[in-house]
Chains A and B, each alone.
Chain A
Amino acid sequence: MTKVDLGMPRMGFFTDTTVCIGCKACEVACKEWNAVPAKPLNLTGESFDNTSGLTADSWRHVAFIEKTVPAPGDDGAKDVKWLMSSDVCKHCTHAACLDVCPTGSLFRTEFGTVVVQQDICNGCGYCVSACPYGVIDQREDDGRVFKCTMCYDRIGDGGEPACAKACPTDSIQYGELDLLRDKASRRVAELHAQGLTDARLYGQSPDDGVGGTGAFFLLLDEPETYGLPPDPVVTTRDLPGMWRRTAVAAATLLAGVAVSFAGARR
């Protein structure tokens, strides 16, 4: 997990959910640009959300939450508060999917993003169980795994990812991660000043369990309300200890065999 300085800035997504209007333009643009297969429409009854989550065939997913809140006034009436958020691969600083990939198919690009090389992936599925956000996923009929590439082709050509380009409210912003982080901090301060004390950043801190994410969010509720883990940790952080205990267990096995045979009667 050493840092390699590529001499170019790390790029990222800042998704400001306060201005998301739930139009799903990002979902559509992503599918179109990346030729992600369509799935038959399945009505879930979960507000406007019929995508349900990030999968091999959905690289952007707009979550819809109809939260019951007290209505203005003192008559105890209830009202609905809309929460909408476009979720995506977090492009983790310490990416578990990339760490555990046994073929080297998953790699870190010059933009600091995490991408699957589809011609290498052999569909072992290890990354699927490693991702602490449940993002990366296997496409059943294909066997390989797929996820957001932050439009590696578009950004390599100086463009912005399809979702950010299509977003009509700039809820999805693409740019240099450092600049986005500053911008996000200012935005939260502004919202707090307006009395929106629930506003918080998710994934913006380099001190969190994945070293900060390349795609981070401004949320208006607890992360789990949006289906996000509250404190994800890259599993490989604990790997040195796992290897140590595995070595001790292997040595125990050999010692057990040696002792049983040495001590046995003929």
Chain B
Amino acid sequence: MSPRRELEPEFASYYGRPILKEPTWEARDIAGYLFAGGLAGASSAIAAAAQLTGRPALARVSRIGAVGGLGFSVVALVHDLGRPARFVNMLRVAKPTSPMSVGSWLLAGYGPLAGAALLSDLTGIARPAGYAAGVGAGVLGAGVATYTSALFADTAVPAWHEGRHELPFLFAGSAVCAASGFALIGSPTAQVAPLRTLAVGGAALELSMSARMPRSAGLAGETFGLGRAGALMRSARVATAVGALGAGVLGGRSRAVAAASGLALLAGSALTRFGIFEAGRLSTQDPKYVVVPQRERLAQQDREAATVG
């Protein structure tokens, strides 16, 4: 007897088999991309703000974070394709109904700007143009950091689709944590004051959303606490909280504490993304996450129809 058949479902499933297909995506590539894309996008926003408020060292570190994150993102995205050689087909059409299409165009616009901003910073060539590119990258970066929430929510994967109310804010918070964490590690203590506020704010957003999502996502919400997904989400919360506390309370005094807090923030952000990825995968494996909520919805409609009629 297969292990599937030992399930005790509260409905008659088809031999306990899943209804949905598991995501074809590799965790390393796609959860990794969520993290790296968030790091890149929010780093560009920080770099732009640092440049406009006269913090050149912080701006440079963040530009490096942005281009590093972007580089990883592009490699991961192409690597995850079944036909990597055809990645340019992503730009064959522009479809607002496909967050992946929107994201591809966003990256196509954002990438060159982030690259130009860093290049100009490092070489000193065409500084005004580099500044302008940096501001553009900062604005588009906010989109790069958050569109992935729509990408995940716009699926039939129960945990992701039902988490659609919190995901955008969770991802925004997580991206801010990663980017301020990265900048805390590399910047001189004299320029990190804004990062400390930002890290605390980002962590507050990330933690509150990750606490709320399991409740608002209905039955599938439980997957955020189960197995590997649960372990990842719990470690993420600890890392993020420790990082934010370290950065907020002590980060201004000691370079070492700032760097350690930065590392914890980066780890928290990455763990969150992997946790959400795993929860989604889990929610496709058991048909109950599909059947039970859908049956409840139908029963609700029946009740409403009965009261009206």
Residues of A in contact with B (beta carbons under 8 Å apart): 44-46, 49, 52-53, 63, 65, 96, 99-105, 120-126, 128-138, 142-145, 221-222, 224-232, 235-236, 238-239, 241-243, 245-246, 248-254, 256-266
Contacts and interface: CB of A to CB of B under 8 A. Distances in A.
Interface string B183-225: 0000000000111011001100100000000000000000000
Contacts of B104: 102
A134 B93 CA distance: 25
Nearest to B48: A257
Given A103-B90, A224-B12, A235 B155 contact: yes
A249 B157 contact: no
B169 interface: yes
Contacts of A254: 45, 138-139, 142
Given A134-B18, A235-B154, A45 B2 contact: yes
B176 interface: yes
Interface string B146-157: 110111011111
Contacts of B23: 125, 128-129
A96 to B, nearest CB: 7
Query: Interface residues of B: mostly helix, strand, loop or mixed?
Result: helix
B257 interface: no
A142 B151 CA distance: 24
A265 B193 contact: yes
Contact of B89 (A122, A128, A224, A245): A122
Contacts of A133: 19
A224 B11 contact: yes
20 contacts: A63-B14, A99-B98, A100-B98, A100-B155, A102-B93, A121-B82, A129-B20, A129-B23, A135-B21, A137-B21, A143-B81, A143-B83, A224-B13, A229-B290, A235-B156, A250-B145, A254-B142, A257-B49, A264-B194, A264-B197
Contact of A123 (B83, B161, B171): B83
A154 B161 CA distance: 37
Contacts, number: 244
Nearest to A105: B89
Given A102-B104, A229-B291, A245-B149, 11 more contacts: A103-B86, A121-B86, A123-B82, A129-B157, A132-B20, A134-B20, A222-B12, A230-B294, A239-B99, A242-B168, A252-B205
A129 B156 contact: yes
A71 B32 CA distance: 57
Interface residues of B, number: 81
Contact of A102 (B19, B101, B138, B197): B101
B172 A123 contact: no
B294 A263 contact: no
Given A103-B90, A224-B12, A253-B146, A134 B98 contact: no
Contact of A253 (B172, B197, B287, B295): B172
A224 B164 CA distance: 25
A91 to B, nearest CB: 16
Nearest to B26: A125
A254 B42 CA distance: 8
- Which of B20, B84, B98 is packed against the most chain A CB atoms within 10 Å? B98
B150 A239 contact: yes
A90 B171 CA distance: 33
Contact of A229 (B19, B145, B201): B19
Interface string B1-22: 1100000000111110111110
B164 A132 contact: no
Nearest to B13: A224
B53 interface: yes
Contacts of B156: 96, 129-132, 134, 232, 235
Contact of B172 (A49, A131, A250): A250
B44 to A, nearest CB: 10
B125 interface: no
Nearest to B301: A231
Contacts of A144: 82-83
Contact of B24 (A45, A65, A125, A228): A125
Contacts of A122: 81-84, 86-87, 89-90
